């Protein structure tokens, strides 16, 4: 059996809301280094938006989603992926549980209340795409065998960035930690793992050794565009524009969708206390505006700043 892993994140830059890192694992019929899933599944998925409405748009979430177009396109792609992986995607909490395994005991107050999804995508359209994808996947011998995420709430984000002394180092540890928890290298013949480069880093061998101490990484090349390593029969690639690979694009979509649901929950919480508030996406600039708008309310609700605001 061969496997193709893709990892990506959403929410690295904002001051409000969680960082979400996701991994998708695909079972493929031959070595993943020689397979292009966009070509294999061209009848049902596309890296470009499909005007005919017959192929699912799977690309970098920044391409699939924009605030001006709304959530529907991103949600359609994410809901289909979740269902293809066997994850219950009927509510915000069920998505969280399906991706993480359980709700954490320290849920931030805005995440305590559940709500139904999808919010914008049409259920009948989701059903249609899921059915078509399953048929094509079966015919090609391709399986979306797992999706998992790490939903890093604000206090933990602050603790990790302080401990590692940088956001970039924390992101690398979170990402490889997620992979390690979902890594089945002893059950497969060969795997290809692709993820984005983190910042200006070119060397990742020490990170790999710390996460996978039982396998000594062999460097296959390190550079600005791509750094490659072999761990036993498996290959790891840290590369720029990794979303050109379908498993990474799928991870990008899942991460962004979970992040959008989380900010929906965040805004619902604050607007329930003050309906006159203007919602936020949590990015710098507007996050500062929102922080000022809720400052008195935050104090009245006794919400600590390290639960509300990212320090880096």
Q: What CATH number corresponds to the domain at position 185? A: 3.30.420.10
CA–CA dist 182, 71 (Å, integer): 28
DSSP state of 189: S
Per-position b or e across 120-133, b if 16+ CB within 10 A of its CB: ebeeeebeebbebb
Residue 129: enclosing H or E segment and its boundaries? helix 123-140
- Our count of domains for the chain comes to 1
- pLDDT mean over 151-171: 95
Task: Inform me whether the pLDDT recorded for 200 exceeds 80.
Answer: no
CB within 8 Å of 305: residues ≥ 6 apart: 298
User: Does residue 312 have a pLDDT over 90?
Assistant: no
Pairing between β-strand 218-221 and β-strand 19-28 as defined by DSSP bridges:
unpaired
pLDDT of res. 201: 86
Percent of the chain with pLDDT over 70: 99
pLDDT tops 90 at residue 199: no
Residue numbers of the domain that contains 226:
2-262
Average pLDDT rounded to a whole number, residues 62-70: 92
Please check the confidence at residue 185 and state whether its pLDDT lies above 80: no
Backbone φ and ψ of 297, nearest 5°: -65, -40
Two structure tokens written together for 143: 């399986």
* The two structure tokens encoding residue 131: 């059915």
Q: Is residue 16 part of a domain?
A: yes
**Locus of tokens 């292009």:** 36
pTM of the model: 0.97
pLDDT, tens digit, 9 for 90 and up, residues 88-111: 999 999 999 999 999 999 999 999
Please check whether residue 19 lies inside any domain of the structure.
yes
Q: Name, in order, each residue with C-beta under 8 angstroms of 267's C-beta and a sequence gap of 6 or more.
A: 277, 279, 280
Q: How far apart are the first and last CA of the chain?
A: 42
**Residue 295 belongs to some domain of the structure:** no
pLDDT value at position 271? Answer: 98
Residue 72 lies in a domain: yes
Question: Counting Cβ atoms within 10 Å, is residue 134 exposed (0-12), middle (13-18) or buried (19+)?
Answer: middle
C-alpha 281/C-alpha 155 separation (Å) is 18
| Residue 237 pLDDT exceeds 80 | yes
**How far is 36 from 31, CA to CA, in rounded Å?**
10
* Section 192-212 average pLDDT: 90
Cα separation of 149 and 37, whole Å?
Answer: 21
Q: What rounded mean pLDDT belongs to the chain? A: 95
d(CA 198, CA 200): 6
- Write out pLDDT tens, residues 12-57: 999 999 999 999 999 999 999 999 999 999 999 999 998 788 999 9
Cα 208 to Cα 217: distance, rounded to the nearest angstrom: 7
**80 found inside a domain:** yes
Report the pLDDT value the prediction gives residue 186, as an integer from 0 to 100: 64
pLDDT attached to residue 50: 86
- What pLDDT is recorded for position 274? 98
Lowest mean pLDDT among 57-66, 114-123, 171-180, 185-194: 185-194
Looking at residue 116, its pLDDT comes to: 98
pLDDT score, position 161: 96
290 domain-assigned: no
**103 part of a folded domain:** yes
pLDDT for res 184: 76
Residue 75, token pair as written in the block: 């949600």
pLDDT score recorded for residue 215: 85
Q: How high is the pLDDT of residue 52?
A: 84
For residue 283, tell me if it sits in a domain. Answer: no
What contacts 29, CB < 8 A, 6 or more positions away? 2, 35, 140, 141, 142
């Amino acid at each position: 059996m061969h496997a193709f892993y893709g990892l990506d994140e959403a929410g690295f830059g904002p001051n409000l809301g969680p960082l979400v890192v996701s991994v998708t694992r695909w079972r493929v019929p031959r070595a993943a280094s020689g397979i292009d899933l966009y070509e294999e599944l061209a009848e049902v998925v596309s890296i470009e938006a499909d005007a005919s409405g017959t192929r699912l748009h799977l690309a970098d979430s920044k391409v699939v989603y924009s605030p001006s177009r709304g959530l529907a396109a991103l949600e359609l792609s994410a809901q289909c992926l979740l269902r293809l992986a066997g994850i219950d995607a009927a509510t915000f909490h069920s998505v969280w549980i399906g991706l993480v395994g359980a709700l954490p005991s320290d849920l931030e107050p805005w995440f305590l209340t559940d709500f139904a999804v999808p919010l914008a995508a049409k259920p009948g359209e989701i059903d249609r795409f899921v059915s078509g994808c399953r048929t094509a996947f079966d015919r090609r011998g391709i399986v979306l065998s797992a999706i998992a995420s790490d939903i890093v709430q604000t206090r933990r984000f602050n603790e990790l960035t302080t401990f590692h002394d940088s956001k970039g180092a924390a992101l690398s540890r979170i990402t490889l930690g997620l992979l390690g928890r979902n890594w089945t290298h002893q059950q497969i013949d060969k795997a290809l793992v692709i993820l984005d480069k983190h910042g200006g880093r070119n060397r990742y061998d020490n990170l790999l050794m710390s996460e996978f101490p039982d396998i000594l990484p062999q460097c296959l090349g390190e550079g600005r565009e791509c750094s490659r390593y072999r761990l036993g029969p498996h290959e790891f690639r840290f590369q720029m524009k990794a979303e050109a690979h379908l498993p990474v694009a799928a991870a990008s979509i899942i991460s962004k969708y979970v992040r959008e649901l989380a900010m929906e929950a965040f805004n619902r919480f604050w607007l329930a206390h003050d309906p006159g508030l203007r919602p936020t996406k949590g990015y710098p600039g507007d996050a500062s505006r929102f922080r000022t708008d809720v400052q008195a309310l935050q104090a009245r609700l006794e919400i600590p700043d390290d639960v509300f605001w990212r320090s880096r």
